[in-house]
Chain A
Amino acid sequence: MADTAERTAEEAPPRAPRRVLDAFLRRREASVLLVALALMVYFRASSDVFLSRDNLVNIAQATAPTAIVAVGIVLLLVSGEIDLSVGIVAAFAPFLLHFAIDYYGVPVLLALVLALALAAFIGLVNGFIVTQLHVPSFVVTLGTFFAVQGLLLITSHAYPVPIPEPVQGTFQTWIGAGPWASITWAVVIVAVFHVVLTRTRWGLHTISVGGNPVGATEAGIRASRIKIGNFMITSALGGLVGIMEAARINTIDPNIGGGTTLTFYAISAAVIGGTALAGGSGTIVGALLGALVLATLQNGFNLIGYSANTIYLILGLAILASMIANQYLSRLRRAGKS
C-alpha cells in the first residue's frame, strides 16, 4: 500500500516553484501574512502618509504590546488554558516598579526584576488554582482580573504617577520610549518563544498537554508544571508590556496601558494568527502577524478618516471575518494534507 503511494508520488513530481508555494500555503502563518500584506497595499493606495516613517513607528508601537502579550496567550491556548487577567497585570506592573524605586529606593534594574517577578507570581497563583484546585482558567483568571484591579486601585488611589526619576533617560528610552524600542523587544521575544514552542522539550510538552491531557500524563509529562510555567510566562510578559507602555506614554496611569483591551487584542491576535482555542496547536509568529494586522487596521482606517467609534465596528467585523477565514482555510489545509 505504501509502495503504491510512493510510486504515484514519483510519477507526478510537482515542480519546484509549485512545491515551495505549496509549502508556504500550508504554513499556518501564510494566510495572516497575506492579509497583512493586502492591508498594507490597500492603505498605501488610500493614504500617502501610511508608509511614512512616523506612521510606521505608530504601527510598530501599536503592534508590540499586543504581540508580546499574545506570545504568552499562544503558549496558554496551546496548553489548553487562557488568561483574562494579563492586561490588568500589565497595568499593575509599572506601579510595582514605582513603589520599589520611589518608596524603597531599589535600583532600577533590580526593581524591574522584582516587578516582573511579582507579575509572574500572579501567574503562579492562576496556575496553581487551575491545576491544583481544578477550576477552569476562564473563571480563575476572571477572578484574578478583578482582584488585581482592586489591588491596583487601592495601592495607586486611582491616580497616575510620573515615571520615577532614576528610570528617566536611557532606561526609559531602551525599555519603551525609543521609537523602535518596543517592536525590537517584541521581535526578540517572538523569536525566542517561537523556538521554545517548536524546538524545545518545553514546547513539545506544552503541545502534548493541550493536545491530549490524559495521554501526556500517562507518558509521565507533568502537566501542572507546564501549565503553571506558561501562566507565569504570560503574566511576566504582561508586566513587561505594562512597563514598556508606561515608559512610552511617559506616565504611570492605572487607567491606560492595560486592562481588558490589551487582553482582548492579544487573544484576537493569537486567534487571527492561527492558534486554535481547542489546545494542542498554535503559532507564535502567527500571533505577531495577527497583532500587526490589528494595528494596521486601526491605524489605516484612522488615516483614511474614520472616527474612532467606527473603527471599533470595523475592527470587530474584521476580527470575525479573519477568524472565519482562518477556520475555513485550516480545514482546507487539513483536507489538502491528508
Chain B
Amino acid sequence: MTTAALQARGIAKRFGALTALSDINLHVDPGEVLGLIGDNGAGKSTLIKILCGYHQPDAGQIVVAGQEVTLRSVDHARSLGIDTVYQDLALINELSVYHNMFLNRELVRWPLLNNRAMKRRAERHLKDMGVNLPDVGVEVAKLSGGQRQAIAVARSVYSDAKVLLLDEPLAAMGAKEGTMILDVIRDLKRRGDVSVIIIAHNYAQVLDVCDRVNLLQHGRITFDKRAADTSLEELTDLVVADYRRRR
C-alpha cells in the first residue's frame, strides 16, 4: 500500500454546541484527485480548513506523507506542502492581481518588494493557465467573480504545493472557464506528484476529473468509491435518499 499524501484520522470539530465534524477518516494518495461532496453545511469547508491549518481539530490526527503532525498555522501547513483555495477565495480587493497571487509569500529584495518579478511571474502563470486578463496590475475588486476564482486557483496551483485543497473552485465559473480549471487539474494529475482534494456540487464534473469520490454526511465520510465504480445516478440517489429519509 502506498503512503497517503495526506490523511485525516478521527477528526472532530465543534463550534460551540454545533458539531460540524464528528469522526472524519479520509485520505488522498500521491498524484490522486479526490472529490469531496456533501450537502450545504455538511462540514466540507470546515474539514478543508482543518487540513490546511486554519482551524485546530478538537480530536483526531493529521498525517502528512506518513508523518503525524499538528498543524499549528496556515504557514506551517504550507511549509509541509499543503495549499488551499478557500471557498471565499481569500483575495484582498484593495491589492493588485499580482500582489494577490503572491499574498504572504511575496518575492522580496530586502527590504523592498520585488514587484517586477512578481508581476512577470503572475503574468506568465495566468497565461499558462489560459486566464485572460488585460493587466495584472489592476485591483482585484474590479474583476468578475470567475476571474477572481481563476486567480485564487492559479495562486495555489503555482505555489509548488504537494497537496492542493480546492474548496468549490468551479462555483462562479462559466462553462468555458470551468473547463479551463478542470484542464489545470488534469495537467496536475498528468504530472503525477500533486494530490488534490476538490469540493464541488456538480457531480458530473466531479466524476469527470476525480479518481475517487467521498461523500460527507452528518460529520462522517459515509461513502468512498473509485470514480470508475460509481455513477452520476448513484451519487445523486445517495444524496437524495438521505434527504427523503430525513423528511
Contact = CB atoms under 8 A, between A and B. Distances in A.
Interface in A216-236: 216-222
A219 B156 CA distance: 11
B69 interface: no
Contacts of A281: 94
A195 B113 CA distance: 10
Nearest to B133: A2
A250 to B, nearest CB: 37
A205 B134 contact: no
B104 A220 contact: yes
A221 B78 CA distance: 12
A201 B111 CA distance: 8
Nearest to B132: A2
Interface in B96-150: 99, 103-104, 106, 108, 111-113, 115, 132-134, 142
Nearest to B114: A199
Interface in A172-221: 195, 199-201, 204-205, 207-208, 211-212, 214-221
Contacts of A205: 104
Given A5-B134, A220-B104, A337-B142, A204 B90 contact: no
Contacts of B112: 195, 199-200
Given A2-B134, A207-B94, A200 B99 contact: no
B107 to A, nearest CB: 10
B29 to A, nearest CB: 26
A216 B93 CA distance: 11
B172 interface: no
A337 B95 CA distance: 15
A218 B94 contact: no
Nearest to A198: B113
Contact of B86 (A200, A204, A218, A222): A218
A199 B106 CA distance: 11
B104 A221 contact: yes
A contacts with B: majority SS: helix
B91 interface: yes
A208 B78 CA distance: 19
Given A201-B108, A220-B104, A280 B94 contact: yes
Interface bin, chain A: 20 to 34
Nearest to A205: B104
Given A207-B92, A212-B91, A220 B75 contact: yes
Chain B facing A: main interface SS: loop
Given A195-B112, A219-B90, A6 B54 contact: no
B73 interface: yes
A44 B181 CA distance: 62
A256 to B, nearest CB: 37
B93 A212 contact: yes
Interface residues of B, number: 28
A216 B91 CA distance: 8
A218 B113 contact: no
A2 B138 CA distance: 14
B113 A221 contact: no
A217 B111 CA distance: 23
Interface in B61-79: 73-75, 78
B73 to A, nearest CB: 6
Contacts of A199: 112-113, 115
Nearest to A5: B134
Contacts of B89: 215
B90 A215 contact: yes
A210 to B, nearest CB: 8
A200 B133 CA distance: 25
B132 A1 contact: yes
Given A6-B134, A208-B92, A280-B93, A218 B108 contact: no
A199 B94 CA distance: 15
Contacts of B94: 207-208, 211, 280-281
Nearest 8 interchain pairs by C-beta? A220-B74, A215-B90, A218-B90, A211-B94, A280-B94, A220-B75, A208-B92, A219-B104
Given A204-B103, A208-B95, A219-B104, 16 more contacts: A1-B132, A199-B113, A199-B115, A201-B113, A204-B106, A207-B95, A208-B92, A214-B88, A215-B86, A215-B88, A215-B89, A215-B90, A216-B90, A218-B54, A218-B90, A280-B93
22 contacts: A1-B132, A2-B132, A2-B134, A200-B111, A201-B106, A204-B99, A204-B113, A207-B94, A208-B94, A211-B93, A214-B88, A215-B90, A217-B54, A218-B88, A219-B90, A219-B103, A221-B103, A221-B104, A222-B73, A280-B92, A337-B142, A338-B142
